[in-house]
Structure formats: C-alpha cells, structure tokens
C-alpha cells in the first residue's frame, strides 16, 4: 500500500486526486489530508479515508473540525505550523495542491524527507524555484509537475536531449474573456471572470486564466522547473485546450502533448509515474474535433505576460514579489476594490517600488521569500490606499 498525503484536499485539484484514489482504495493509505475553510468537506473526506491526521489551515476553525470528527478516533490539527508538521509524516507520494504561496512551506518540508511531490501549487516554483529544486536535489526527492502544461512538457521531454530543445511552447485557453474586445475588459466583474470556457478549476486560478496571470505564473514555472532559458519559452492561445504544450527541437521536429482538458490526466500521470495506467478521462475523437486553432498571446492585451518576462529576466526574489502582489491584487479584485485591468497595473507598480527600494536583491531562502511575499502584499495594499485617498 502506498502512503499518500493530499495538501489542499478540499479544493478542485484535491477533489480530482481523491476521485482517482477512490477508484482503487486497496492501493493507498492516507497519511495527511488538509483543507482550509471547508471544514465539512475535510471532515467528510477524513471519515471516508481515515488518514493519520486531518489539518485545517485556519486555527480558528479547529473546534469545528474537532466536533465534526468527534467519536471517530481521528486526529486533527490546525494552522500553518500543523501543515508543516503534517508534511513531516512519512509518505511515499504527496500532492501539493494548496492555492497560493501558503503551499510553499509544507511542500518544501516534504522534499526534505526525500519524498515524491506531485506539484500543482505553481506558486511554490514562482516564489522559490531555485530553493525548491535545490532542496529536492539535495535530499534525493522527486518533483513531478501537475500543472497540465508542465506535465505535458515533462512527458514530451522523456528520453530527449535537453541540448536539442529550441523552444518550449505552452498553450493558453485565453480564459473567460478571450473573445471580449479590449475596451470591455476594464469593467469585467469577478463573477464574469470566474467561469472558464474549458477547465473546471478553483475560483482564483480561473480568474488568473482570464487575466493571463495564470499563464504568466506558468511561464516562470517552466523556467524554474525545466531550467530553460526564458527566451526559449513561449505561450500561444489555443482556445480548444487540446494541445497542452509542445517541445520544438533543433532538427525542426515538434513533439506535442494532447489530451482532453481534464486534470485527472496530469494528476494520474504523476500518481502512476513512472508507469502509465488507464485513467478515466475522455479519449479524443479527431474527426469530431475537426480543427485546432491558435492565436498570439498578445502582451498588450495581457500585460501579465510582459511582467512575467521581466520577472524571468531578473530572477532571484522577483518571482516572490510578483506572486505576492498578484495574490493581493486578486483579493482586491474579488472584493470589488480593484478593476480587472487594474490588477496588472498594481502588480507592475509594486515591482517597480520594490526594485527601487532594492528590496529584491537577497538570496532565495525561505525567510527571504516570506519577507518579500509580505512586503509585496503590504506594498499592494499601500498603493491601493494612496489611490483611493
Ligand atoms: P482551490 O481553491 O479549489 O483549492 C485550494 C485548496 O487550498 C483548498 O483545499 C483550500 O481549502 C486550501 N487553502 C486555501 N487557502 C489556504 C491556506 N492559506 N493555507 C492552506 N490551505 C489553503 O484551488 P485549485 O484546486 O484550483 O488549485 C490548487 C493549486 O493547484 C493552485 O496552486 C493552482 O494554481 C494549481 N492548479 C490548479 C489547477 C486546476 O485545474 N484547478 C490546474 C493547474 C494548477 P478550503 O477550500 O477548505 O478553504
Ligand atoms: Mg496550467
């Protein structure tokens, strides 16, 4: 039986992971299941899978979790430190599917135990790519990408020589507003940004898809995970979301990874790796699809992509600043305090400010990443207050 932990079990990636585990209950033993505000969902999963421990990220919700698990004999805990301790529990495979920079500390801790980390939490790589990759290397741990584009690149690169790779192209669906005229974007609402044409995902990544901040994070993720020169990494809009990524070699050949837009493919690939096993995902019918189309990922329409280029060129702690500012901009957009197109403007201002203050010059350690993440969030709040004063 493989010992498995799922961080972010109550989320969208968590649910898809649980779906695969549930189909083969004899094969897995659950070690830790974690959630945030969805206590009822976490308790239901704990009752079903009887993990060693169930953890909520929010200490204020511990009494509720305790009450929901009363009489079951199951252990529970709460708070960021409890999440890190849950990552200390021996496991053979760990899903990192917390949303945001909060996913970094437990993921990093898990790597120190030499485990296999299935990484959906792209923010970890954006904030602390060099630290994460070096920690994995030093402790003999394995990181398997779960983001669909990166799983696709990983699969397309199998057995290939990195020296012959000319370009890596990741695709973007274009999100909720891909067919909207540019001048309407300013007034787009959180509700409008929260529906994705192809993928069923958590609210935050869905809005990030509409603004292309998700693709911006993924460009940086590609750079950090595969160690590819940023000038060789491209994004292209592909509205059908059938091709997830392509790897172009110096002999003109291009390997593309295709599949139905269903995260259970990338999750299942990571779960079964290095083997391939049958997965409950739709099989593509090319005649029915008819055609696949592509459009440029325009940096005027999507300034987040231009910012990602700047972050990749600067490296170091710029990723942590970019992500922290982006997370706060998204909070403010969801709360109705910021317009859709103002998110990128705010992130750009924060990056400029922190650069001017020489706040991003340090090494990529966990302490420095946390410091920069916090000042980026504070700086975003300050900039917004000044605007509204
Ligand atoms: P969801 O919002 O659906 O789920 C997020 C999970 O994290 C939930 O379990 C949530 O708990 C928990 N959580 C929220 N805040 C915190 C916190 N501060 N500390 C600890 N746990 C917290 O997100 P998704 O499943 O969509 O995404 C998860 C990650 O995977 C993200 O990094 C995303 O970018 C990435 N990803 C997602 C894809 C998708 O298809 N959904 C595709 C590719 C990557 P609760 O709900 O109980 O509050
Ligand atoms: Mg993706």
Shortest-distance atom of ligand 1 to CA 201: 41
Pair 65, 42: CB distance under 8 Å: yes
23 Cβ contact partners less than 8 Å away, ≥ 6 residues apart = 280
pLDDT level of residue 311 (50, 70, 90 thresholds): very high
pLDDT of amino acid 386: 82
Overall average pLDDT of the 176-200 stretch: 93
In the annotated binding site, the residues are: 10-13, 36, 38, 121-123, 147-149, 173, 196, 202, 209, 214-215, 218
Q: In 3-state terms, what secondary structure has residue 233?
A: strand
Residue 55, ligand 1, Cβ within 6 A = no
Tell me the C-alpha distance between 284 and 136, whole Å.
35
pLDDT over 90 (residue 87): yes
Overall average pLDDT of the 289-311 stretch: 97
Tell me the C-alpha distance between 314 and 305, whole Å.
14
Q: Return the DSSP state at 256.
A: E
Overall average pLDDT of the 68-95 stretch: 98
Residue 205, ligand 1, Cβ within 6 A = yes
pLDDT level of residue 387 (50, 70, 90 thresholds): confident
The preferred substitution site among 14, 15, 19, 99 for testing ligand 1, maximizing ligand atoms within 8 Å of CB, is 99
Ligand nearest to the CA of 334: 1
pLDDT of amino acid 197: 85
Q: Rounded to 5 degrees, what angle do the CA atoms 340, 374, 350 make? A: 45
Residue 82, ligand 1, Cβ within 6 A = no
Residue ranges near ligand 2 (ion) with Cβ within 5 Å: 147-149
372 Cβ contact partners less than 8 Å away, ≥ 6 residues apart = 317, 320, 321, 324, 354, 359, 360, 362
Residue 79, ligand 1, Cβ within 6 A = no
Residue 107, ligand 1, Cβ within 6 A = no
Question: DSSP H helical segments within the chain, as ranges?
Answer: 12-22, 39-49, 62-68, 80-88, 104-111, 122-138, 148-157, 190-193, 203-211, 213-226, 263-272, 286-289, 303-314, 318-334, 342-356, 366-388
The preferred substitution site among 82, 102, 205 for testing ligand 1, maximizing ligand atoms within 8 Å of CB, is 205
Overall average pLDDT of the 165-184 stretch: 95
Tell me the C-alpha distance between 346 and 383, whole Å.
7
Residue 99, ligand 1, Cβ within 6 A = yes
């Amino acid at each position: 039986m493989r010992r498995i932990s799922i961080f972010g079990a109550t989320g969208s990636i968590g649910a898809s992971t649980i779906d695969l585990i549930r189909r083969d209950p004899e094969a897995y033993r659950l070690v830790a299941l974690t959630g945030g505000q969805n206590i009822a969902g976490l308790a239901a999963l704990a009752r079903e899978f009887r993990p060693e421990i169930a953890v909520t990220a929010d200490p204020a919700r511990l009494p509720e979790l305790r009450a929901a698990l009363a009489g079951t004999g199951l252990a529970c805990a709460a708070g960021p430190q409890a999440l890190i301790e849950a990552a200390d529990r021996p496991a053979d495979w760990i899903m990192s599917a917390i949303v945001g920079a909060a996913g970094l500390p437990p993921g990093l801790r898990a790597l120190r135990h030499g485990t296999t980390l299935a990484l959906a939490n792209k923010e970890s790589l954006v904030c602390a790519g060099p630290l994460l990759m070096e920690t994995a290397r030093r402790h003999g741990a394995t990181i398997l990408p779960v983001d669909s584009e990166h799983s696709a690149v990983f699969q397309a690169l199998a057995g290939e020589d990195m020296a012959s790779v000319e370009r890596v192209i990741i695709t973007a669906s274009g999100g909720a507003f891909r067919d909207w005229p540019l001048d309407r974007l300013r007034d787009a609402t959180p509700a409008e940004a929260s529906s994705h044409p192809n993928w069923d995902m958590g609210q935050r990544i869905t809005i990030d898809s509409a603004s292309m901040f998700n693709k911006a994070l993924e460009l940086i993720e590609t750079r950090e995970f595969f160690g590819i020169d940023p000038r060789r990494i491209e994004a292209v809009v592909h509205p059908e979301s059938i091709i997830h990524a392509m790897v172009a070699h110096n002999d003109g050949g291009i390997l593309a990874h295709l599949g139905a837009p269903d995260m259970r493919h990338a999750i299942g690939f990571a779960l079964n790796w290095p083997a391939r096993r049958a997965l409950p995902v739709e099989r593509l019918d090319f005649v029915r699809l008819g055609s696949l189309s592509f459009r440029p990922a325009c940096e005027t329409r999507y300034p987040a992509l231009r910012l990602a280029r700047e972050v990749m060129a600067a490296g170091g702690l710029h990723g942590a600043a970019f992500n922290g500012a982006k997370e706060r901009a998204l909070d403010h957009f969801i709360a109705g305090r910021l317009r859709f197109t103002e998110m990128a403007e705010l992130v750009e201002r924060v990056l400029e400010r922190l650069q001017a203050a020489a706040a991003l010059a340090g090494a990529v350690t966990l302490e420095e990443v946390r410091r920069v993440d916090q000042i980026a969030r504070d700086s975003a709040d300050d900039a917004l207050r000044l605007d509204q004063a």
